[in-house]
């Protein structure tokens, strides 16, 4: 098998596309290499179409292998299990731009598998996998109207960078992924920190310039290694039969789809008519029953698109730039920490926020990064939201993708861990669906965060812009719903604040969007976003001043990193004991920050006191009330702080001679002691003699106070010297003892 390859230069980086070395039985296989990141992508097609389906069976899988970064999978089972969220999102990233380029009516199964074989941590593999998948399809014999390219563009300190490193991505204020070819856009993904639309267009143009170099390189590979495309049978409904049926039912369809103000979903007139026609036509034309569903889809699509393109109207009677009626509510659920209900037309999403301790953060373990994730959003789409009956399963790719989109939109607005030391979990339940539920979930997230009292930088709203087009002209539609979504050409989702855009996700059913469409959609989305934010502000305009009374309380203290071992203890013995005694949870970071989370302040304060005592430095000259832990002939051992003991030699127990230690103290007694020496080995020497002499001097002028009150009058572990223990800070940086209160808790809703 002859090996063929091409090299593509992108802003000082070299991408090598190679075929012919491996996976010779796949229809197409390409290995893409950039620095030490190596990705293999394969494309395979079944030899015959699948019978009895009305869709194109394309599967895109991005498979992570830990060997690519020299790691063995964690956990009891080393084989690995379900794909990570990152792998699922990358699979969707590959799927969206290549799917529209397959021939309409194709029913052969096609599978794309992309798999990193070697991974340099600073060179992300997702866009490389997208390019490799495009190249594998392009050189294969599978019918496909490609190739396309895909790049990532970031802006770091005002400079745009193509295919940046992971470090540059983390330091950027925008991360844009664009896929397409010939100036046409097939896909857009964006996460940004309130970026202006004009800046996005600049990055967009830079991305397309790089895409052209990628497409040129793939075409060179096709010239030297491409296979002739295979002819496959296409399932296309008989045009004459379509016209025959349309002449019979077209007027009824026109009437059904024109229902201003009617609720969408399965109960709408158009849906009911479609079901009725499917049954009646199957009975009238039994020999053509396999075609009936396809024919009805074609006819309904034709009438909806004609309504928009020729009459400039919409099925529900709205203007082209009109948003469905919006309403909001917050504080609906008394026991949750924050809740928001967002309704736009017949789309309804309930979002809740749960606050937790930092040790409840999500563990992230992917090829590109490992660590903890403290802000999460889960999106759920139960079948009742569309009036359907279906078994409840684990979240699918669509649910994970929609959850990630809203999470991406809100992430730049979330206060830092130093400002707000909580784990935040948003959960969106779609209660009713009539289009654009992901953007409704984004709005619901903002409402829930503000209802919970989280000091987000600004509320975020989202909107979806659709398009219906033909060869002559196009029509953009704001806030697409139902039929406009099913039969339209574009879903352009934009989320952001009043100041700028925070997230975008665009996919299309066309052969690509030109720059003018992107520019117009961004402007239309900005206008709609501002209107939605105005409506949301009427319900809640800024975060509440106080947290829910059911939210956990958090104290933050700082200790010297050398003292972390004292707090944790061998095998976690000490920290577990603190948690068991106080009911609080402790989260210790390597830099010495200790986060104490409890259901009430008293528990948090008790835990804080123990940590202070454990980490407090014992100093010569300080006086402590300690507990006798052991009595020996040569003296007594006294615990002056938790886990810190010193020896009072028998000669230091009293001013007069002592024959037996037991004559002065016994185990469990609390006595006052003074530190006189700390050895190089950390051993502490204590005394009572000087204290007793000082006491006698004070009593001679003080009028008869009893000696035992001097020993027992102070709490154990307290010191006469100034307390050098750690000082807690709240999420605003205030000291716990400062005049301003640390947290306020609002009464029950």
d(CA 642, CA 255): 81
The architecture in CATH of the region 553-615 reads 2-Layer Sandwich (3.30)
Domain layout of the chain by residue ranges: 4-225, 239-311, 326-539, 553-615, 623-712
Neighbours of 503 (CB within 10 A): 26
Question: pTM for this structure?
Answer: 0.85
Paired residues of 494 in beta bridges: 463, 504
HSE-up of residue 212 (Cα within 13 Å, Cβ side): 8
Q: In the CATH scheme, what is the code of domain 326-539?
A: 3.30.230.70
Per-residue DSSP letters for 145-195? ----EEEEEEEETTEEEES--HHHHHT-SEEEEEEEETTEEEEEEEEEEEE
Contact 481, 574 (CB under 8 A): no
Matching CATH topology for 4-225 and 326-539? yes
The parts of the chain modelled with pLDDT lower than 70 are 1, 260-267, 692-749
- The alpha helices in 542-631, defined as continuous H runs, are 564-568, 573-582, 601-615
Judge residue 723's burial from the number of C-beta atoms within 10 Å of its C-beta, 0-12 exposed, 13-18 middle, 19 or more buried.
Answer: exposed
| Per-residue confidence (pLDDT) for residue 54, from 0 to 100 | 87
pLDDT value at residue 707: 42
Task: Write down the residue that tokens 């009617």 correspond to.
Answer: 262
Judge whether 33 and 146 are in contact, CB under 8 Å: no
pLDDT for 367 equals 87
Q: Which CATH number fits domain 623-712: 2.170.140.10, 3.20.80.10, 3.30.2020.30, 2.40.50.140?
A: 2.40.50.140
How deeply is 283 buried, as exposed, middle or buried, from its count of CB atoms within 10 A (0-12, 13-18, 19+)?
Answer: exposed
According to CATH, what is the number of the domain 4-225?
A: 3.30.230.70
Burial zone of 337 (CB within 10 Å; 0-12 exposed, 13-18 middle, 19+ buried): buried
The whole-number pLDDT of residue 14 equals 96
pLDDT of residue 365: 86
Rounded (10°) angle between helices 85-98 and 397-410? 100
Q: Could you tell me how far CA 273 lies from the centroid of its own chain?
A: 41
């Amino acid at each position: 098998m002859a090996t063929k390859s091409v090299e593509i230069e992108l802003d000082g980086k070299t991408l090598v596309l190679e075929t012919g070395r491996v996976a010779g039985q796949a229809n197409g296989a390409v290995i893409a290499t950039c620095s030490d990141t190596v990705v293999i992508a394969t494309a395979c097609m079944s030899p015959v179409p699948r019978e009895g389906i009305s869709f194109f069976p394309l599967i895109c899988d991005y498979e992570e292998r830990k060997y690519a970064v020299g790691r063995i999978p964690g956990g009891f089972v080393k084989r690995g299990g379900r794909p990570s969220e990152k792998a699922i999102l990358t699979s969707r990233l590959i799927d969206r731009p290549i799917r529209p380029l397959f021939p309409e009516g194709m029913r052969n199964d096609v599978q794309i598998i992309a798999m990193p074989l070697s991974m340099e941590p600073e060179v992300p593999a997702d866009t490389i996998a997208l390019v490799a998948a495009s190249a594998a399809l392009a050189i294969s014999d599978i019918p496909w109207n490609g190739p396309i390219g895909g790049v990532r563009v970031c802006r770091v300190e005002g400079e745009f960078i193509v295919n940046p490193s992971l470090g540059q991505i983390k330091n950027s204020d925008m991360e844009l992924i664009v896929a397409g070819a010939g100036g046409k856009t097939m896909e857009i993904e964006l996460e940004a920190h309130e970026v202006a639309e004009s800046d996005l267009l600049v990055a967009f143009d830079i991305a397309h310039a790089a895409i052209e170099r990628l497409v040129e390189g793939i075409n060179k590979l096709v010239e030297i290694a491409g296979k002739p495309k295979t002819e496959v049978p296409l399932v296309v409904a008989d045009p004459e039969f379509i016209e025959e049926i349309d002449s019979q039912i077209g007027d009824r369809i026109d009437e059904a789809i024109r229902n201003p103000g009617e609720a969408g979903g399965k109960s709408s007139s158009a849906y009911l008519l479609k079901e009725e026609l499917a049954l009646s036509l199957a009975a009238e034309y039994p020999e053509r029953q396999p075609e009936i569903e396809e024919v009805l889809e074609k006819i309904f699509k034709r009438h909806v698109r004609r309504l928009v393109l020729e009459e400039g109207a919409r099925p529900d009677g709205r203007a082209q730039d009109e948003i469905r009626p919006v309403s909001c509510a917050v504080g609906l659920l008394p026991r949750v920490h924050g809740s928001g209900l967002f309704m736009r037309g017949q789309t309804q999403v309930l979002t809740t926020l749960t606050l937790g301790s930092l040790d409840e953060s999500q563990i992230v373990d992917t090829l590109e990064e490992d660590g903890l994730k403290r802000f999460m959003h889960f999106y759920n789409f139960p079948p009742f939201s569309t009036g359907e009956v279906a078994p409840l399963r684990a979240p699918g790719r669509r649910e994970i993708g929609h959850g990630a989109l809203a999470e991406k939109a809100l992430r730049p607005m979330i206060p830092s861990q130093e400002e707000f030391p909580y784990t935040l979990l948003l959960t969106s339940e779609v209660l009713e669906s009539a289009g654009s539920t992901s953007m409704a979930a984004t709005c619901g997230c903002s409402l829930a965060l503000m209802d919970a009292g989280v000091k987000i930088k600004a509320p975020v709203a989202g909107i979806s812009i659709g398009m219906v087009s033909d060869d002559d002209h196009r029509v953009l539609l704001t806030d697409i719903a139902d039929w406009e979504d099913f039969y339209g050409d574009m879903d352009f989702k934009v989320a952001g604040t009043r100041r700028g855009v925070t997230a975008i996700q665009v996919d299309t059913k066309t052969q690509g969007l030109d720059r003018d469409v992107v520019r117009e959609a961004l402007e239309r989305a900005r206008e709609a976003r501002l209107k939605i934010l105005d409506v949301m502000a009427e319900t809640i305009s800024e975060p509440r001043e106080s947290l829910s009374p059911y939210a956990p309380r958090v104290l933050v203290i700082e200790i010297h990193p050398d003292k972390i071992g004292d707090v944790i203890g061998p095998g976690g013995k000490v920290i577990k004991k603190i948690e068991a005694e106080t009911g609080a949870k402790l989260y210790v970071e390597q830099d010495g920050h200790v986060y104490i989370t409890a259901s009430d302040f008293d528990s948090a304060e008790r835990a804080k006191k123990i940590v202070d005592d454990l980490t407090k430095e014992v100093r010569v000259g300080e006086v402590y009330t300690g507990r006798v832990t052991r009595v020996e002939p040569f003296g007594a051992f006294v615990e002056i702080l938790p886990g810190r003991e010193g020896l009072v030699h028998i000669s230091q127990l009293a001013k007069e001679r002592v024959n037996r230690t037991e004559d002065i103290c016994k185990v469990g007694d609390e006595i006052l002691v003074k530190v006189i020496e700390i050895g190089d080995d950390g051993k502490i020497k204590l005394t009572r003699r000087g204290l007793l002499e000082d006491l006698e001097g004070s009593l001679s002028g003080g009028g008869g106070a009893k000696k035992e009150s001097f020993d027992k009058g102070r709490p154990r572990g307290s010191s006469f010297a100034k307390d050098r223990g750690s000082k807690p800070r709240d999420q605003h940086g205030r000291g716990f003892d400062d005049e301003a209160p640390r947290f306020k808790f609002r009464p029950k809703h």
